[in-house]
Every structure is written in structure tokens, then in C-alpha cells.
Amino acid sequence: MTIKAHQFDHVVSKFQMKSRNAGDRLVWFVYEGKLVTHTRRSHRSGDLPFQKSMPKQLGLTPNEFRQAVACKLNRDEYIEILRRKGYLK
């Protein structure tokens, strides 16, 4: 699966993740005031490098990540996945 920068940015927005620009765009998910997951993406447009590591860094399987990119996974479902995998109590 290949994703573009704008597709990843849509997932960040949909999951209400925080982000800031540094050497790369740093992205993290905070739940109830606690940092849960984090990743980064290149500033360049087009296909993103290091796509294979992004799902794991966000606590998702590759299939769950594909669902998120395809807009088939919302924030509440993401939270439930993280809870089921032990990222959240």
C-alpha cells in the first residue's frame, strides 16, 4: 500500500492527533492527557517514505491502517483498537 502525504494528514485530522513541524512533521495521539502513540512523516509531497513503520507506530495493523486511510475507521474505533491492544486502560 502506498499513501500520499495528504491522505496521512486526513487520518491525523480524523483521529484528532496533535502535530508540529520540525525536520519532519511530528504527529502524536494524546488520550486523557497522556501520550499514547506517535510517528512522523516527511514534508515532501507524494508517496511517503517509511510507510511500513507508520501503522506499528500508531498501534495499528497494516490492514487497520489501510482502513483508516480509506476513511473506514473513525476516532472512537481507533481508541477501541488501542484499548484492546493494551495501549489504553
Residue-wise pLDDT for 34-83, tens only, equals: 999 999 988 877 677 677 889 999 999 999 999 999 999 999 999 999 99
Q: What does the pLDDT read at residue 42?
A: 84
Q: Cell numbers 502535530 correspond to what residue?
A: 19
- For residue 56, CA distances in Å to 35, 38, 46, 62 come to 15, 10, 21, 8
pLDDT at 43: 80
Of the listed ranges 4-8, 69-73, 85-89, the one predicted with least confidence: 4-8
Q: Please tell me the predicted confidence (pLDDT) of residue 49.
A: 67
User: What pLDDT is recorded for position 29?
Assistant: 97
